[in-house]
Structure 1
């Protein structure tokens, strides 16, 4: 007998009710130029316009809002390369709590500044030598904090799935849904929503070529660890899928495709020059896959999750020059 999934469509819909009036209902962008370039009708779910500039606020708020008053009073711990850090910091502040965030030493300065700006305390570590999960759990235990991980948590996964839920409510039937993949929380939640609502949708994850841990894991049928990837898509620099996210994705995700850093750059440039939106590298990977022709056969109607836009002007110029 197959074990039940840790997150259901009901959980995603419950998260949507909890987030109503708190998270932004982000726009779905259409472009005739993009359609002509790709041979499909593309619907871009622009989470770069979400609070803190990325989808992560959805999962963080959904999880933190369910803590007991005592847990909230003691405080929250998290670990993140940037967007989950900001999301936890803001959600904690909104709900009357405090946050301590473990961040890599090489996190982009704009993400560090934004996280501090939301009132969080920051502790740093070396992402290439330190185990952030172990360090984060030790930090939470030492201080008596509630740990909200960036993806491997059922309420986080359900919250992230609300992005796809909204996209489907607006776009209607989709033949395929393209989702950036890091630790797997966004695609796990999105696949839960999409497969629960659409009978024939293909859910396709997109990873950077240097960070193909989920692709390898799905092919192997078990979680596979890789060296910490070096890619411009810092939000997708995961070395192994989460346990919960993998349990969902191995059953609901149809395919993982890969894109190179140069293809991500091209997507960022096109989004800026033709669509008039700013996307961070991780947020551009699903669009990059569509533009690079990675999706075959080409779907007639495709949803593309633009997962975030947190990048400072100097770094954006360096990448897109």
Structure 2
């Protein structure tokens, strides 16, 4: 009896080991296939590099950076904008895959949906980080052209931040990228038409950029109570505000010109822990939704 139990335990351990080895192998193969498929397409570099740089240049001109007295919160808004471009990349890529034989072949090879989804998610998350790093480099160059000497360079302004502030900003950026990847998968998963999917993505991104306080001045949206409350339904709003509050060292005066103005609504009460929690919940909910909305082809 004891020998049989021991033998069964050994078989179970061997089965677990084989399953784990197979899963790791499938993940590695999926990751390589996905990376080659995405990186060989010129469109990837448009979304990861060219569009973010264009946004940064337009934003610099729009906000008259060469005249303004910039603080770290404004600079963080520049840094987070490229994370929105990942939505376009994921949406377009998955939509085209669904309308081709790419996903069908992978599915027929016996690859599970969870394995492929994790590979897809991680690779695009890494692309989001790469896009962020590129944007930081571009911002350092733009700062030499647009920012007044009295304000200092891009890196000298960021040097005002403490370690805890940087942790909050990085947490914010990671959540922004995560939310963008999930939304890209969800839209492409629910809508079969590539043209319609891209149109909805464009509208959603523009809406998110505005109502997450990335494009317009923070003070402007806070003057309207209905708009402020409506903005809480925008997933990026929560992740962006984690970074804004962190970049302000949790000092309201760093983010607002006149925080004591009557009728002003300051989002989240400028309490860092609130958007930290809500942004994580939004990110988790969208991640799960993205998994269940993902399909191998256009047939439902």
TM-score by length of 2: 0.29
TM-score by length of 1: 0.28
- Give the number of the structure with larger relative contact order, counting CA–CA contacts within 8 Å between residues 6 or more apart: 2
Q: Say which structure is richer in strand.
A: 1
Q: Which has the larger radius of gyration?
A: 2
